[in-house]
């Protein structure tokens, strides 16, 4: 993993080709390292490619439900435990252009 981080250095902040968002940075790293582990929790893991595809599904479901620019005014509550689902949900919500609000699943 440290090799991926070292070799995936992005341009300096403010450089013309620097992505402006977390989603943009993720997209660049994901395109380079589709098969590398992106997230691992309790023995389960997702590659960058898997995380990208699953989060695209979440984003598509949100944009189907809230079409147009209205999604930018939506805060999506995310009620999941710490795990792969949390990573997929957060990234999917951000890809859709919405904000996310963590909700405690044990309450």
pLDDT band at 12; cut points 50, 70, 90: low
Q: Residue written as tokens 């997702």?
A: 46
If you average pLDDT over residues 59-78, what whole number do you get? 87
Do 78 and 89 touch, CB atoms closer than 8 A? Answer: yes
| Closest listed residue to residue 92, CA positions, set 63, 66, 68, 70 | 63
> What confidence score (pLDDT) does residue 20 get?
82
Using DSSP's 3-state secondary structure scheme, residue 104 falls into: coil
Give me the chain's average pLDDT, please. 85
> What confidence score (pLDDT) does residue 48 get?
96
Residues contacting 79, CB < 8 A, separation 6+: 103, 104, 105
If you average pLDDT over residues 1-28, what whole number do you get? 65
CA atoms of 93 and 95, how far apart (whole Å) = 5
Do 96 and 62 touch, CB atoms closer than 8 A? Answer: yes
Q: What is the pLDDT of residues 36-46, one digit of tens each?
A: 999 999 999 99
pTM of the model: 0.79
If you average pLDDT over residues 49-78, what whole number do you get? 90
> What confidence score (pLDDT) does residue 87 get?
96
């Amino acid at each position: 993993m440290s090799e991926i981080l070292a070799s995936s250095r992005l341009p300096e902040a403010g450089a013309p080709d620097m992505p402006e968002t977390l989603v943009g940075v993720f997209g660049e790293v994901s395109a380079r390292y589709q098969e590398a582990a992106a997230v691992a929790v309790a023995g389960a893991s997702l590659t960058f490619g898997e995380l990208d595809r699953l989060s695209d599904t979440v984003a598509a479901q949100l944009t189907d439900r809230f079409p147009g620019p209205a999604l930018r005014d939506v805060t999506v509550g995310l009620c999941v435990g710490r795990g792969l689902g949390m990573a997929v949900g957060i990234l999917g919500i951000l890809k859709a252009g919405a904000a996310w609000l963590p909700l405690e699943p044990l309450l």
